[in-house]
Amino acid sequence: MNLPSSEPAFVYRNRPPQEKLVDQGFRQLVVVLASLVGVVLLGILLTVLSGSREAMASFGLGFLTTSDWDPVTESYGAFTAIYGTVVTSILALLIAVPLGVGTAVFITENI
């Protein structure tokens, strides 16, 4: 039987200034690196858009919604590839998420 104690489970202590400085430096580093990830993603998006400018001007948005791929008539569509990618990703998530959550629950409950 556990009896309540008048002492707290842990004691707050004043942290030395060095620890506070390290925490502030780490926080700033994380913000800089997170911003860098955003800049890199923006760069990738701009590169893809500039690289696809000619194809979009030639085929329009129909390129994304049609499934034709006929080099003879120069009729191209990316819908089949996009659909396959989305379906594959959804199937992978349907397999991975339950396994991952189940593993996490098993580890936290049994170990």
Q: Where are the chain's structural domains?
A: 16-51, 60-111
- Look up residue 75 and give its DSSP letter: E
Highest mean pLDDT among 22-26, 38-42, 56-60, 71-75: 38-42
| Alpha-carbon span 23 to 82, nearest angstrom | 44
pLDDT of residue 108: 92
Residue bearing the bigger pLDDT, 59 or 80:
80
| Chain center to CA of 28 | 21
65-85: pLDDT as tens digits: 888 888 888 778 889 999 999
Residue 92, pLDDT score: 98
Contact between 31 and 39 under an 8 Å Cβ cutoff? The reply is no
| Cα distance between residue 20 and residue 28, in whole Å | 12
Give the distance, in angstroms, between the CA of residue 49 and the centroid of all CA atoms in the same chain: 20
Terminal Cα-to-Cα distance of the chain (whole angstroms): 24
Of the two residues 103 and 76, the one the predictor is more confident about is 103
C-alpha 89/C-alpha 100 separation (Å) is 16
